[in-house]
């Protein structure tokens, strides 16, 4: 029984690590590091591997931000932390109606490479994603 529990715990840990794994800058492809350095000269990033893409987490002008890149250095999306009160009103209403008893812990504005805007609200250890006008898209566990 202990062996089964140990295997289950190890499997869960491995699955979690496959989703987002911290990386030293030396393990990030040159094209990705060069793209980031060109866009943000002099800024130091903390790197993670997120489902085969490379996420640069950093602070700029006091704001927490991140950019997601493909291995070839092309940006797929950027994210900036925003105040919960800055989320669109339909997001706040949706969360109040569908997550009764839970508050939004963090908010973010996501900009896709094609300019599409999404919003993210962290509620009850889940990321709840909305389109640019505040319509619900999906939720996912952290």
Contacts for 136 with CB less than 8 Å, ≥ 6 apart: 94, 98, 128, 129, 130
11 or 131: which leads in pLDDT: 131
Span 30-59, average pLDDT: 95
How far apart CA 110 and CA 128 sit, in angstroms, is: 12
Digit-coded pLDDT (tens) for 52-97? 999 999 998 889 999 999 999 999 999 999 999 999 999 999 999 9
Interval 70-79: pLDDT, tens = 999 999 999 9
Angle at 52 between CA 123 and CA 83, to 5 degrees: 30
Please tell me the distance from the alpha carbon of residue 53 to that of residue 68, in angstroms, as a whole number.
Answer: 7
Tokens standing for 127?
């990321």
pLDDT at site 88: 98
Q: pTM for this one?
A: 0.80
Q: What is the pLDDT of residue 2?
A: 39
Report the mean per-residue pLDDT for the chain: 88
């Amino acid at each position: 029984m202990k062996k089964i529990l140990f295997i289950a715990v190890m499997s869960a840990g491995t699955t979690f690590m496959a989703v987002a794994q911290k990386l030293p800058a030396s393990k990030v492809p040159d094209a990705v590091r060069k793209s980031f350095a060109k866009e943000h000269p002099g800024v130091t990033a903390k790197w993670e591997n997120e489902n085969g893409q490379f996420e640069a987490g950093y602070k700029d002008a006091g704001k927490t931000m991140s950019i997601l890149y493909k291995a070839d250095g092309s940006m797929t999306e950027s994210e900036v932390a925003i105040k919960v009160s800055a989320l669109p009103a339909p997001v706040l209403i949706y969360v109040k109606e569908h997550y009764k008893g839970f508050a939004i812990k963090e908010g973010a504005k996501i900009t896709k490479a094609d300019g599409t805007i999404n919003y993210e609200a962290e509620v009850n250890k889940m990321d709840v994603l909305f389109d640019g006008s505040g319509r619900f898209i999906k939720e996912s566990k952290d």
